[in-house]
Amino acid sequence: MSVSLNKFVAATGICSRREADRWIEAGRLTINGNVAVKGNRVEEGERVELDGRPIGEKPEKVYLAFHKPAGVTCTTDPRDPDNIIDFLNYPERIFPVGRLDKASTGLILLTNDGDVVNEVLRAENEHEKEYIVTVDRPFDDRFVQRMSAGVPILGTRTNPCEVQRLGKRRFRIVLTQGLNRQIRRMCEHLGYRVHTLKRIRIMDITLGELGVGDYRPLDGFF
């Protein structure tokens, strides 16, 4: 019985189906030596390779919490010189769960378990993500109220969220959405520019005292 290529790759634990589709589009996957295309299926016994390396056996599950520095890109693409995989240089093949944009810092999870990616990123699960943000100038209570109530961006309106003032230009925000550059776009809509953005929590996983550029295992969490 055959299975779709993206499902086959995700089942090995090295990425999600979405990431597998990107690898297919980039020409990084082959089946029996032939460059794969979207729609390909894998029969039992066929050889699937990523960048010339065979995949197929399920590795031992890896879950990491990483304190991403600014300047690191949350991609597995080796063509990006700032990609997160080369930065970590972890001995097993892993991939990031979700994204933090290049200028942002803080907590990001990495794993080889595609099921965890789907669980964490699925919008309907509404997992909380907490951030500390500084903007370019002082804001007032109206800014906090408008951010909390929802802001029109990207053709939709952000969900109501928790926002707490921490200083004249600094606030804490808890989101359950993951729109592209959401916090930066929300601030820009209200006339502010983000200076620093740091994620300190995903669900019950906190950044804690983890140093910038360091990671720790999350054995037993998932």
Q: List the chain domain ranges.
A: 3-55, 63-122+206-217, 128-202
pLDDT of 145 reads 98
Distance CA 50, CA 98 (A): 21
Q: Any idea which fold 63-122+206-217 has?
A: Alpha-Beta Plaits (3.30.70)
Topology match between the domains 3-55 and 128-202: no
**What is the 8-class DSSP label of residue 129?**
E
pLDDT of 57 reads 63
Q: Which CATH superfamily is domain 128-202 in?
A: Alpha-L RNA-binding motif (3.30.70.1560)
pLDDT of 125 reads 65
What are the catalytic residues?
101
For residue 195, report the phi and psi dihedrals to the nearest 5 degrees.
-95, -50
Rounded to two decimals, what is the model's pTM? 0.75
Assess if CATH 3.10.290.10 describes domain 3-55: yes
Q: Between 174 and 53, where is the model more confident? A: 174
